[in-house]
Amino acid sequence: MPLDTAALQVFQAAARSGSVSKAAQLLNYAQSNVTTKIKQLEKELGAPLFYRHNRGITLTSAGKTLLEYADKALRLLEEARKAVQDASTPTGPLSIGSMETTAAVRLPHLLADFHRMCPEVDLSFVTGPSQQLIQAVLDYSLDGAFVMGPVEHPELLQDSVFEEELVLVTDALHPHLDFPKELTGRTVLVFRSGCSYRAKLLGWLQEEGVMPVKVMEFGTLETIIGCVAAGLGVSLLPESIVCSKTKESLVRSFPIPERYGRVQTVFIRRKDAYLTQAYKVFLHEIKHRFFVPHGPGQPS
């Protein structure tokens, strides 16, 4: 007997949330209906799918196997729906992610123009560290993302969109830096773990034998720049971000070695993702505005 799609959706929600009651809330179902659907699945498959305990539910080995296939089946059904309903006029959802620094300087005009071109597209946009964004694309949570490259993964395609020069940023009154070791004991201001620029900065300082007194994490670009300007510490940011601040004498910037200072921003997407009309227009706009000739082995 073919498995019921609705039952698979219920099972998936319960597995992801670890709770029958939470699954019922997510799906707007009665809790008894969720329990019934799960029991029907277990009866049809002849195997228990969950361990029941006072903290909720946990997948059995059979449940883990089913979840893998349920994810694939439901994803294919969603892609089939998109393919059938996709019209020549771009519509529907499109989820894009970006590093915060890229979003702040490079993307506002792209996003605004895309919205004017495709007003019926439900565009959602999130920012975060590169590692987090890469995982979100792999998990199908995002359709694509702007991250620091190169990204080597068998399930992903990448396009080079632009290059950035990273510079060390200090307060405006900071004396000229002749040697990296002059940063010993300074506080460094960074984004949370998973940020590629953070990894670059700490990697460079470690190579130079520089031990910062403290690493302080911040959630927004504006906060980091403001705290650097106030003399709290130093940071590593794209020159395109801080050039206006240096002209206003709010901060000062210094070059770092090219192997750490020259970085590439790429746009990544899954190889198996279905490209809706909205997504095709978005990709066209990226390549039209930002295209950087790709090197050997990089997909176009």
Element spanning 196, H or E: helix 196-207
Residue 242: predicted pLDDT? 92
Distance (Å, rounded) from C-alpha 98 to C-alpha 180?
Answer: 30
Per-state percent for the chain, helix, strand, coil, to nearest 5: 45, 25, 30
State the number of CA atoms in the 13 A half-sphere of 82 facing the CB: 18
User: Residue 298: its pLDDT value, please?
Assistant: 45
Mean pLDDT over all residues of the chain? 88
Res. 299 pLDDT band, cuts 50 70 90: very low
pLDDT > 80? residue 256:
yes
Mean pLDDT of 230-250: 93
What are the tens digits of pLDDT across the range 43-96? Answer: 989 999 999 988 889 999 999 999 988 888 888 887 777 666 666 678 889 999
- In this structure, the number of other CB atoms found within 10 A of the CB of residue 211 comes to 12
**DSSP assignment letter at 232:** S
- Comparing 2-6, 130-134, 231-235, the range with the smallest average pLDDT is 2-6
Report the share of the chain in percent with pLDDT over 90.
57
Q: Are 17 and 23 in contact (CB under 8 A)?
A: yes
284 confidence band (pLDDT: 50, 70, 90): very high
Q: How confident is the model at residue 295 (pLDDT cuts 50, 70, 90)?
A: very low
Residue/partner pairs of 3-8 with CB below 8 Å, 24 or more apart: 3/41, 3/44, 4/37, 4/40, 4/41, 5/73, 5/74, 5/77, 6/37, 7/37, 7/38, 7/40, 7/41, 8/41, 8/70, 8/73, 8/74
277 or 295, which is more confident: 277
The pairing of strands 235-238 and 156-171 is: antiparallel
Peptide bond into 150 cis (omega under 30): yes
Chain length of the chain: 300
Per-residue pLDDT of 124-177, as tens digits, reads 999 999 999 999 999 889 999 999 999 999 999 999 998 999 999 999 998 888
pLDDT of residue 1: 54
pLDDT > 90? residue 269: yes
Question: Which residue is listed with tokens 């460079």?
Answer: 204
